[in-house]
Amino acid sequence: MKNFIGNCSSVIDCEALIAACELVEGNTILAPLEINKDDVFYKEESKETFDLLETVYKNVTSVKFKHYYPGQHFDQKIVDELGKFCGVEPLGSFVSKVEPGFCVPLHKDIMNNYKDLYLKNKLQRFVIFLSKPSFGAGFILEDEIFYLEEQGNTYKFPDPHSWHAGFNVGTKSKHLITFTGFLP
């Protein structure tokens, strides 16, 4: 079931945030991702995702997306406002961009820095649809699909470790924010 939090357009300017990201290069991410497999967190929570990327998605050239980070690529204040809006203290967040013809395959986000909060059930993860609705740009969260979502619509993940994916078979770039916070 979708867990709709509200529309955050009242507290952040989605178009201005997209424009800020368009002014900078951001971090391009391609499959296969580079990771230290000796890292304990890889073994604990990322192995399933990376195994998929190295098998099913090996040599798949349509896996490509960009990340933009607060304080580096856009104003940290936006994250602070989102924290108030969602009722959490902000932790990590990023804007992701998927251009037409590309996808972000099935994966779980890496939460390794927040393991204690996760185990205490205090960690929450949200997705915020930044772009205006456009044909072919979608997002899947477990058994729910989000398509033609109103700009600013904000949903909570069923679990911070939920499986999800994004795709863009339309004509315009798709931007969203993945936002993590904790319950004080």
- How many residues form the binding site for Fe ion (CB under 5 A)? 1
Q: Which of 103, 109, 139, 146 binds Fe ion (CB under 5 A)?
A: 109
Least distance from C-beta 104 to Fe ion, angstroms?
A: 7
Binding to Fe ion by residue 68, rule CB under 5 A?
A: no
Rounded distance, CA 48 to CA 33, Å? 13
Stretch binding Fe ion (CB under 5 A), from 8-16, 18-26, 56-64, 105-113: 105-113
Which strands make up the sheet holding 144-147, listed edge to edge? 103-107, 164-168, 137-141, 144-147
Indicate the residue among 109 and 149 with the shorter CB distance to Fe ion.
109
CB contact set of 57 (below 8 Å; sequence gap of 6+): 31, 32, 63, 105
Stretch binding Fe ion (CB under 5 A), from 74-82, 101-109, 123-131, 151-159: 101-109
For Fe ion, which residue has the nearest CB?
Answer: 109
Least distance from C-beta 154 to Fe ion, angstroms?
A: 16
Rounded distance, CA 56 to CA 58, Å? 6
Q: Residue 104 in contact with residue 63, Cβ under 8 Å?
A: yes
Rounded distance, CA 65 to CA 99, Å? 7
Residues that bind Fe ion (CB under 5 A): 109
